[in-house]
Structures are given as structure tokens and as C-alpha cells.
């Protein structure tokens, strides 16, 4: 439902209240409030949707601005998020079994930098609960389902966890994201190294072929990469994605670098840094990946989109679509609209 006078300009007031709370508490309060509004059919008042349709990966997107993974790890808020005007929604990361994640506190705000550091560690309710939530959602737009491995599954057996998740999510996903780039699960990023990655991609592609026959549908597989890769690693990854017939890339996850926030009281916290400081490194990785792929695969650009201009810069660097997470925390639903209009 669209309201003639969207309330999104009032977000700074909500933000002022939320930012007085611990970041993880604020996250939960905001999501519960949104869900309550959505259930009462009022969430549409918070934003007015931009229709700017486009086709990427053979899918029809309502606009080019999506919700990045990790905000709704269990797929509990899909309809509420859709009401805010996102052109597509990605939920997860889900792991086969439920797990609590790392001890709290594990999320930190670096307000001066419009940034967050998190080391949540894939806290989620597991695949079965995730699938129940996804199936309960009424949302009919593009839905990405993001999969990972449990913290206690060894890197040698990681492919088993991804296969378990892929089998579960395949019938319900518009696209599936293989997340091997979170810095908060020990060894996960090692899967980006060529030998490990080849094993993982070949296993997943073989499984996908079976699932495509079984479910009579082709679901695009995307790989989500880190912003902390060097040029050689990017070339290796691009080569393997093309060799194993993957459909696209999400560039990027959070960074382990602290160069841009040195001296901040939270800079030494372990975890992934997101928001404004990750924009430059992330956009550079996007540019290099686009070059390495020679335009053969579409890329979703994510990392530090805090303004419509940032969204344009991602597209200019080679992205076909963008996603936002930290920018949404700092600027609210108005940012979705501003970016979607800028990319129209």
C-alpha cells in the first residue's frame, strides 16, 4: 500500500531513538516494529515504492535496489522489508543447523564513519525454520536465499553444508547466494582460494543440475566475495565462475581492514566493517571482477552505498544491481527510494 505522503523523511527521529540503544537491541526493536506495522498493513506508509523494472539473471526486478543479506537472517521479515520499497530481497545467511553465533556484544556502531563492525557469526535458526518462514511470506518479487556452513563444520566438509542448504532452498529461491566471504566464521574465506573453490563450485554446479531437473526450474547461483582479495585471487575466482557455469557475483561482503577507521574506539573490535569505509575497496573489487569476467556475468554491487551517487558509482564500476545494508540503518527507507530513482 502506498500512502500519498510517505513517512520516510521522519526516519531521523526514529534513528535518534534507536541509536540510543545497543546496536543489536536496536536491530531487533526496529525489525519487530516494522513487522507489527506490516501486519497491520501500515508499513507501506513508511515509503513509496519506485517501479523501475529490469531483467538480470533472467529474473524480473521491480527496481535495481535490493536488501543485502544478514539483516533478516531467518527470513522472518520478508513482507515487512518488501513494503519499504526494495526491488529485491536477500535473506540469510542460513546454515544447515541452528547456531547461536558469537558471544555478545558482537555489533558496534562507528557513527562518525557511518559504519558498523559486526562479528555475529551466522546466528540463525537453521534451515528448517528458515524454509518455514520463507514459505509463509506473501512477497512475490525476487527473493535471494543466502547459504553458508555451520561454524563447527570443517572446511574439508564445507561443501556438504552448502549442498544440504542448496537442496533445501532451491525450490523456494529466485536466486541462491553462496556466501564464502563472511569474516566471522573461522576459515570460511579460505574457500575463496582456487583449489578449495574449484571443489566447492564443481560440487554445487553438479548438484544444481540435478535440482534443476527435479524441480523443472533453473535457479541462478551467485557467489558472494570479500573486499579483501588481491588481483590474482579475483582472476582465479572469475575463471572458475565461468568454467563452472555460475550465474553471477555479489561484490562485496564486509572488510577486515581498519585503514579507514584507524583511531576509532571500536576500530580494534574483531569482525567485518561495513558502511561508508568499505565503499572504496568494495567498488574497486567490483571493478576488477567486472574486468576479469569481461562482462560475461552480471554483478550485484554492495558495500558502502550511503547515497544515490554511491549507487550510480557502483553501476559505473560494472554492477547491474545494488544492495544496501548499513546505509539503510543510517538513512532509512528514503535511501532505497533515492537510489532506485537515481538508477531508473
Ligand X SMILES: Cc1cc2nc3c(=O)[nH]c(=O)nc-3n(C[C@H](O)[C@H](O)[C@H](O)COP(=O)(O)O)c2cc1C
Active site residues: 182
196 contacts ligand X (rule: CB under 6 A): no
**Part of the chain binding ligand X (CB under 6 A), chosen from 41-49, 129-137, 290-298, 301-309:** 301-309
For ligand X, the binding residue among 85, 168, 327, 332 (CB under 6 A) is 327
146 contacts ligand X (rule: CB under 6 A): yes
For ligand X, the binding residue among 63, 153, 254, 283 (CB under 6 A) is 254
**Part of the chain binding ligand X (CB under 6 A), chosen from 12-20, 130-138, 206-214, 300-308:** 300-308
116 contacts ligand X (rule: CB under 6 A): yes
69 contacts ligand X (rule: CB under 6 A): yes
Q: How many CA atoms lie within 13 A of 72 on its CB side?
A: 29
147 contacts ligand X (rule: CB under 6 A): no
Q: What does DSSP say about strands 59-61 and 54-56: parallel, antiparallel, or unpaired?
A: antiparallel
Count, residues near ligand X per rule CB under 6 A: 27
For ligand X, the binding residue among 18, 47, 68, 178 (CB under 6 A) is 68
CB of 24 to ligand X, least distance (A): 8
Q: Residue 231: exposed, middle, or buried by beta-carbon count in 10 A (0-12, 13-18, 19+)?
A: exposed
224 contacts ligand X (rule: CB under 6 A): yes
Contact partners, residue 158, CB within 8 Å, separation at least 6: 149, 188, 191, 196, 200
Q: Phi first, then psi: give them for residue 176, nearest 5 degrees.
A: -120, 130
For ligand X, the binding residue among 313, 326, 331, 333 (CB under 6 A) is 326
For ligand X, the binding residue among 63, 164, 174, 182 (CB under 6 A) is 182
Containing H/E element for 222?
strand 221-225
Residue among 44 and 266 whose Cβ is closer to ligand X: 266
For ligand X, the binding residue among 107, 134, 200, 343 (CB under 6 A) is 107
Cα torsion through 250, 150, 240, 238, rounded to 10: 30
325 contacts ligand X (rule: CB under 6 A): yes
Residue among 6 and 281 whose Cβ is closer to ligand X: 281
Nearest to 301 by CA among 309, 291, 293, 287: 287
Give me the 21-60 binding string for ligand X, x by CB under 6 A, dash otherwise: ----------------------------------------
DSSP state of 101: -
CA dist 81 and 149 (Å) reads 25
Return the beta strands (E) in 88-156 as ranges: 88-94, 107-110, 115-118, 142-147
Residue among 44 and 57 whose Cβ is closer to ligand X: 57
All 3 cell numbers of residue 84? Answer: 519499504
Containing H/E element for 55?
strand 54-56
For 318: left if phi > 0, alpha if psi spans -120 to 50, otherwise beta; the answer is left
266 contacts ligand X (rule: CB under 6 A): no
Q: Which parts of this chain interact with ligand X (CB under 6 A)?
A: 68-70, 73, 93, 107, 116, 118, 120, 122, 146, 179, 182, 224, 253-254, 274-275, 278, 302-305, 324-327
Amino acid at each position: 500500500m502506498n500512502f500519498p505522503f510517505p513517512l520516510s523523511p521522519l526516519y531521523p527521529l526514529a534513528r535518534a531513538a534507536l541509536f540510543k540503544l545497543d546496536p543489536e537491541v536496536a536491530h531487533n526493536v526496529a525489525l519487530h516494529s516494522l513487522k507489527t506495522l506490516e501486519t497491520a498493513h501500515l508499513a507501506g506508509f513508511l515509503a513509496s515504492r519506485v517501479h523501475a523494472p529490469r531483467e538480470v539473471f533472467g529474473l524480473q526486478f521491480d527496481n535495481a535496489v535490493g536488501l543485502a543479506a544478514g539483516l533478516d537472517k531467518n527470513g522472518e521479515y520478508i513482507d515487512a522489508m518488501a513494503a519499504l520499497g526494495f526491488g529485491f530481497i536477500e535473506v540469510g545467511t542460513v546454515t544447515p543447523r541452528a547456531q547461536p553465533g558469537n558471544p555478545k556484544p558482537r555489533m558496534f556502531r562507528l557513527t562518525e564513519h557511518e559504519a558498523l563492525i559486526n562479528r555475529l557469526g551466522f546466528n540463525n535458526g537453521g534451515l528448517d525454520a528458515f524454509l518455514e518462514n520463507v514459505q509463509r511470506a506473501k512477497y512475490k518479487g525476487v527473493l535471494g536465499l543466502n547459504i553458508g556452513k555451520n561454524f563447527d563444520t570443517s572446511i574439508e566438509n564445507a561443501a556438504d553444508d552448502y549442498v544440504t542448504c542448496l537442496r533445501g532452498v532451491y525450490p523456494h529461491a529466485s536466486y541462491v547466494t553462496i556466501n564464502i566471504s563472511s569474516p566471522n566464521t573461522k576459515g570460511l574465506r579460505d574457500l575463496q582460494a582456487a583449489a578449495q573453490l574449484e571443489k566447492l563450485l564443481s560440487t554445487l554446479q553438479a548438484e544444481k543440475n540435478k535440482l534443476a531437473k527435479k524441480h523443472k526450474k533453473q535457479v541462478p547461483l551467485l557467489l558472494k566475495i570479500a573486499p579483501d582479495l588481491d588481483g590474482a585471487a579475483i582472476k582465479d575466482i572469475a575463471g572458475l565462475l565461468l568454467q563452472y557455469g555460475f550465474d553471477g557475483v555479489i561484490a562485496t561482503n564486509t572488510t577486515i581492514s581498519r585503514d579507514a577507521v584507524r583511531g576509532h574506539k571500536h576500530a580494534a573490535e574483531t569482525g567485518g566493517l561495513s558502511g561508508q569505509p568499505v565503499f572504496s575497496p568494495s567498488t574497486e573489487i567490483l571493478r576488477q571482477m567486472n574486468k576479469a569476467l569481461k562482462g560475461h556475468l552480471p554483478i550485484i554491487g554492495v558495500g558502502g552505498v550511503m547515497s544515490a551517487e554511491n549507487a550510480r558509482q557502483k553501476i559505473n564500476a560494472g554492477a547491474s544491481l545494488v544492495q544496501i545494508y548499513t546505509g539503510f540503518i543510517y538513512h532509512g527507507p528514503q535511501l532505497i527510494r533515492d537510489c532506485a530513482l537515481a538508477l531508473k
